């Protein structure tokens, strides 16, 4: 068991170092969501005056969670791309031939996604605090936000890994990039669910991404709500379970096909 | 100068535009990224921010009509940036060296690239317009439509000049995010999401001084009201200014590129 953990740690360390050494992987996760956060905060900032908008100090307080989850979705996509590159280059084949558990190959890669999740959570928290966001739940709220964002990066990373294992092509995983925005626009990431246009409003009501965003947002704009926290945890478990099952099936298929 | 070289130059530009069109015919998927991203953003922004029209000071009750010119310009920005990426690819595989070794003047090579981008920008613009009208955007009228298309094509020229400048500077497709991100920021740091008086914080100031705001407002006219000369000329002046500056840098890059 300890040896297996060491393998996961070693592969996770490799994937974290790889991500931070390649700016082209890291930059889109940080620059694009930050740019969009800045523009949407200035562009739609007056929305806080709309009837039905939840009481918030400012629009940035509302948007911060959306930017974090946008970043974790992109981190999941980046993890998938990195795994697909490993497959294309034959590195995964070497790991498959090594006396290590198969799940460690995926789990090691997901450790990289989780590290990116933590990094993006800290990045956006810093931006929020610099530009006047007040975290209603204080330090415990900040810790909960970091934990949820890290866990969601892990969950979204498992979906990216499943696509990478199934396709074995970095360009196919990269092609999933626009889906990130479909998921976000059909959730409460950028605007309150009750103010979205139909059918987006109905879809957002059941979209697990909405549950996760609402759980990250909850400590910023109000006191902890059990309902939001449970839903957020359920959303992460649901996405993670789906990604794990699909990854396991894709890995089995890849091994069967050789 | 005789008429013959001009005719040759026109033929070269036309040949480069045909080459760009052939790429789309042979690899239809090449047009998808330029169409998909602005379409997703158009539908997404409409779904998310439609309620903003309920705010006092909004010019229209149809957010689709308000945002569609922005998405069309965004499509032009992506298409223009893609021209830069394609040029970087040609540089990487050595094809551009052959163009440079040809007797075609540098400005002709540049014109071929930017006019190709201008024509290609009609693809996302058409798809976006059809989608927008299908979900309830106002028809802008013939004049409003022609004006919007004219400005979209010109915006693609500006974006292509930017893309070419970076492609010649960095000589790698890895510069693609920079080509796209700057165009995206330029177009969105305007009255893209809401009228000027409803913008908040830093964006209020930036949108006020960003010349592309004038382009967005000019392209938007027919969709939310009447087209006027007073609402049109500032956009034309802004695009002319950008074309002069970025065209100068692109041409300078072409002239400095040895073969």
- Tell whether the model's pLDDT for residue A222 goes beyond 50: yes
CA-CA-CA-CA dihedral for B104, B107, B110, B112, to nearest 10? -60
- Tell whether the model's pLDDT for residue A5 goes beyond 50: yes
Both tokens assigned to B105: 């003047």
Query: d(Cα A230, Cα A217) in Å, to the nearest integer?
Result: 13
- For residue B258, the model assigns a pLDDT of 66
The reply to whether residue B177 touches residue A45, judged by beta carbons under 8 angstroms, is: no
Residues A18, A23, A27: CA angle, nearest 5 degrees: 120
The reply to whether residue A181 touches residue B41, judged by beta carbons under 8 angstroms, is: yes
Asked whether the CA dihedral B149, B153, B154, B156 is positive or negative, the reply is positive
Identify the residue among B47, B54, B206 best suited for mutation to test binding to A, counting A beta carbons within 10 A and taking the highest: B47
Give the gap in angstroms from C-alpha A198 to the nearest C-alpha of chain B. 7
Average pLDDT over residues A171-185: 82
How many contacts (CB atoms, under 8 Å) link A and B? Answer: 97
Query: d(Cα B60, Cα A22) in Å, to the nearest integer?
Result: 45
pLDDT in tens, A60-77: 999 999 999 999 998 888
Q: Which residue from B216, B189, B214 is spatially nearest to B66, judged by alpha carbons?
A: B216
Give the gap in angstroms from C-alpha A71 to the nearest C-alpha of chain B. 16
Give the gap in angstroms from C-alpha A53 to the nearest C-alpha of chain B. 10
Which residues form the domain of A37? 2-257
Query: d(Cα B151, Cα B187) in Å, to the nearest integer?
Result: 13
- Cβ atoms A108, A8 nearer than 8 A: yes
For A34, A207, A220, B132, B244, the CA distances from B210, given in Å and listed in that order, are 20, 37, 33, 26, 16
**CA end-to-end span of chain B, whole Å?**
26
Give the gap in angstroms from C-alpha A49 to the nearest C-alpha of chain B. 8
Q: Which residue in this structure is represented by tokens 């694009």?
A: A32
Give the gap in angstroms from C-alpha A197 to the nearest C-alpha of chain B. 5
Which of B48, B194, B202 is facing A46, going by the closest CB pair?
Answer: B194
The reply to whether residue B181 touches residue A185, judged by beta carbons under 8 angstroms, is: no
- Mean pLDDT, chain A, rounded, equals 87
Query: d(Cα A24, Cα B174) in Å, to the nearest integer?
Result: 8
- For residue B5, the model assigns a pLDDT of 65
- For residue A251, the model assigns a pLDDT of 86
Per-residue pLDDT of chain B (259 residues; tens, 9 = 90+): 445 566 888 888 888 888 877 777 776 666 676 788 889 989 998 988 888 888 888 878 889 999 999 999 999 998 888 888 888 888 888 888 888 888 888 888 888 888 988 998 999 999 999 999 999 889 999 999 999 999 999 999 999 999 999 888 887 777 777 788 888 889 999 999 989 988 888 899 999 999 999 999 999 999 998 899 999 999 999 999 999 999 999 988 888 876 5
- Tell whether the model's pLDDT for residue A24 goes beyond 70: no
Region of residue B172 (left: phi > 0; alpha: psi -120 to 50; beta: else): beta
Which of B184, B198, B206 is facing A46, going by the closest CB pair?
Answer: B198
Query: d(Cα A116, Cα A198) in Å, to the nearest integer?
Result: 34
Helices marked H in chain B — which ranges? 3-26, 32-49, 63-92, 95-101, 106-120, 122-134, 141-170, 176-188, 201-209, 212-224, 229-256
Q: How many domains does chain A have?
A: 1
* Chain B contact set for A185 (CB, 8 A): 40, 43-45, 47-48
The reply to whether residue B193 touches residue A43, judged by beta carbons under 8 angstroms, is: yes
**SS3 call for B74:** helix
Query: d(Cα A195, Cα A53) in Å, to the nearest integer?
Result: 8
* Chain A contact set for B200 (CB, 8 A): 41-42, 45-46, 59
Nearest Cα residue in chain A from B29 = A175
Q: Which of A110-114, A171-175, A185-189, B100-104 has the highest mean pLDDT?
A: A185-189
Look up the pTM and report it: 0.83
The reply to whether residue A186 touches residue B47, judged by beta carbons under 8 angstroms, is: yes
Q: Which residues lie below 8 Å from residue A182, measured CB to CB, with a gap of 6+?
A: B40, B44
Nearest Cα residue in chain B from A202 = B47
- Cβ atoms A112, A208 nearer than 8 A: no
- Cβ atoms A205, A183 nearer than 8 A: no
- Cβ atoms A114, A153 nearer than 8 A: yes
- Tell whether the model's pLDDT for residue A177 goes beyond 70: yes
Query: d(Cα A132, Cα A121) in Å, to the nearest integer?
Result: 16
Give the whole-number percent of chain A exceeding pLDDT 70.
Answer: 98
**CA end-to-end span of chain A, whole Å?**
27
Interchain contact A92–B (C-beta under 8 A)? no
pLDDT in tens, A95-118: 888 877 788 888 888 888 888 889
Interchain contact B189–A (C-beta under 8 A)? yes
- For residue B1, the model assigns a pLDDT of 47
For A17, A24, B170, B231, the CA distances from A21, given in Å and listed in that order, are 6, 9, 20, 49
pLDDT in tens, A27-42: 778 888 898 899 989 8
Query: d(Cα A16, Cα B85) in Å, to the nearest integer?
Result: 29
Cβ under 8 Å to B: A residues 144-183: 178, 181-182
The reply to whether residue B193 touches residue A190, judged by beta carbons under 8 angstroms, is: no
Interchain contact B47–A (C-beta under 8 A)? yes
- When pLDDT is cut at 50, 70 and 90, the band that residue A128 belongs to is very high
For A30, A60, A180, A203, B71, the CA distances from A67, given in Å and listed in that order, are 9, 10, 12, 20, 21
User: B29-36 — which CB contacts under 8 Å span 24+ positions?
Assistant: B31/B120, B31/B123, B31/B124, B33/B78, B33/B82, B34/B75, B34/B78, B34/B79, B34/B82, B34/B120, B34/B123, B34/B124, B35/B75, B35/B123, B35/B124, B35/B127, B35/B128, B36/A178
Query: d(Cα B45, Cα B42) in Å, to the nearest integer?
Result: 5
Nearest Cα residue in chain B from A38 = B203
- Cβ atoms A179, A209 nearer than 8 A: no
């Amino acid at each position: 068991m300890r040896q297996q953990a060491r393998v996961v740690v070693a592969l996770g360390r490799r994937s974290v170092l790889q991500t931070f050494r390649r700016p082209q992987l890291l930059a889109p996760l940080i620059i694009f969501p930050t740019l969009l956060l800045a523009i949407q905060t200035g562009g739609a900032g007056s929305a806080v005056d709309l009837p039905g908008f939840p009481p918030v100090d400012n629009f940035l307080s509302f948007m911060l969670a959306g930017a974090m989850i946008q970043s974790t979705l992109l981190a999941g996509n980046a993890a998938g791309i990195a795994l697909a590159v490993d497959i294309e280059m034959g590195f995964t084949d070497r790991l498959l031939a090594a006396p290590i558990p198969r799940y460690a190959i995926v789990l090691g890669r997901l450790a990289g996604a989780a590290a990116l999740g933590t990094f993006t959570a800290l990045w956006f928290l810093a931006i929020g605090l610099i530009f006047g966001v007040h975290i209603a739940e204080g330090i415990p709220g900040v810790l909960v936000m970091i934990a949820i964002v890290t866990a969601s990066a892990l969950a979204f990373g498992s979906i990216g890994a499943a696509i990478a294992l199934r396709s074995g092509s970095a360009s196919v995983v990269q092609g999933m990039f626009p889906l990130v925005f479909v998921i976000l626009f059909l959730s409460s990431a950028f605007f309150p669910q009750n103010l979205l246009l139909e059918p987006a409003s109905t879809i957002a009501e059941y979209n697990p991404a909405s549950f996760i965003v609402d759980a990250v947002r909850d400590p910023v704009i109000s006191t902890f709500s059990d309902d939001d926290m449970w839903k957020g945890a359920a959303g992460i478990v649901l996405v993670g379970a789906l990604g794990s099952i699909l990854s396991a099936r894709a890995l089995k298929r890849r091994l069967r096909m050789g | 100068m005789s008429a013959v070289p001009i005719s040759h130059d026109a033929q070269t530009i036309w040949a480069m535009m045909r080459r760009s069109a052939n790429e789309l015919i042979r690899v239809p998927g090449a047009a998808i990224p330029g169409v998909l991203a602005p379409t997703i953003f158009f539908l997404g922004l409409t779904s998310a921010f439609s309620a903003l029209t309920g705010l006092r000071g909004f010019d229209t009750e149809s957010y689709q009509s308000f945002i569609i010119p922005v998405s069309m310009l965004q499509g032009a920005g992506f298409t223009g940036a893609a021209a830069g990426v394609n040029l970087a690819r040609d540089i990487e595989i050595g094809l551009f060296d052959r163009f440079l070794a040809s007797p075609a003047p540098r400005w002709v090579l540049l014109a071929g690239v930017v006019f190709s981008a201008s024509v290609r920008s009609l693809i996302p613009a058409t798809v976006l317009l059809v989608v927008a009208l299908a979900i309830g955007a106002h028809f802008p009228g013939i004049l409003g439509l022609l004006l919007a298309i004219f400005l979209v094509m010109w915006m693609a020229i500006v974006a292509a000049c930017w893309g070419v400048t970076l492609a010649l500077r960095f000589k790698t497709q890895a510069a693609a995010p920079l080509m796209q991100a700057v165009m995206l920021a330029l177009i969105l740091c305007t009255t893209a999401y809401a009228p000027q008086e409803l913008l908040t914080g830093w964006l209020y100031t930036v949108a006020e001084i960003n010349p592309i705001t004038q382009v967005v407002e000019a392209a938007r006219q027919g969709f939310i009201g009447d087209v006027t000369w007073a609402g049109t000329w500032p956009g034309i002046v802004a695009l002319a200014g950008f074309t002069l500056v970025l065209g100068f840098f692109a041409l300078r890059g072409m002239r400095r590129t040895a073969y």
